[in-house]
Amino acid sequence: MTHEYEGVVYDLDGTLVRLSVDWETVDAELRSLLDREGVDHAALETWDLYDAAVEAGVGGEAEELVSTHEQYGAERAERLPHADELAENGHPAAVCSLNCEAACRTALDREGLLGHVAAVVGRDSVPAKKPDPEPLLAAVEALDLPPERVLFVGDSESDAVTAERAGTGFRYV
C-alpha cells in the first residue's frame, strides 16, 4: 500500500478469497425464477438477472437463491495472496463486496481475517450495491477516514468505477 493512504477497503471475491460458487448454476436458477414470472432474460447475465428479479417483485427469492450459493462457496473459499496483506498491513481496513454480508463474514472468519476489519459491507448491508458508491462509502465511514485517504483494492472494472464514484483511491489486485 502506498504511503498516501491511511486506510484500505478490500473487495472480497477475487481479491482476498475466491468463493467456490458455481455461477452457471446460479444463472440457471435465476433464469428459472424469471421464466416463472414471465420475464425476458435472454441477453442477461448474473447481476442483470438478479436486478430483473428485483424489478419483477421476486427480489427476496433471488437474494435467498444467490446468498445460499455464496454461503456454500464461502465455506469452501480459496485464500488469495492479498489476504496476507490485509492481515499484516497494520492500517485500518474494511471489506466492501457485491457478495452477501453473511458469506463475506464466513469467508473472512474461515481465513482468520474477520478480526482485522472494522466493517464488512455486502450487497445486502445497504440499499444500493456496487458500482453505486454507497457500499464503499459505508465501509469508509467505519474507518473514520475521509474517502480521499482510503484505498480500495479490487479485481474488477466495477470496483474501479465504485472507487471513482466514492472518491477513494483504487488499485487492482
Look-up: residue for cell 489486485?
Answer: 173
How confident is the prediction for the chain on average, in pLDDT?
97
pLDDT value of residue 90: 87
Contact 100, 71 (CB under 8 A): yes
3-state secondary structure of 91: coil
Maximal CA-CA distance, the chain: 53
Mean pLDDT of 150-163: 98
Q: What is the pLDDT of residues 88-145, one digit of tens each?
A: 988 999 999 999 999 999 999 999 999 999 999 999 999 999 999 999 999 999 999 9
Judged against a pLDDT cut of 70, whether residue 12 lies above it is answered with yes
pLDDT value of residue 64: 98
Contact 107, 19 (CB under 8 A): yes
How many Cα atoms are found within 13 Å in the side-chain-facing hemisphere of 64?
5
Mean pLDDT of 72-91: 94
| Cell of residue 106, nine digits | 464466513
**DSSP 8-class letter at 125:** T
Domains along the chain with CATH numbers: 7-18+79-172 (3.40.50.1000), 23-74 (no CATH)
3-state secondary structure of 168: coil
**87 vs 21 pLDDT, higher one:** 21
pLDDT value of residue 2: 52
pLDDT band (50, 70, 90) for residue 172: very high
pLDDT value of residue 4: 87
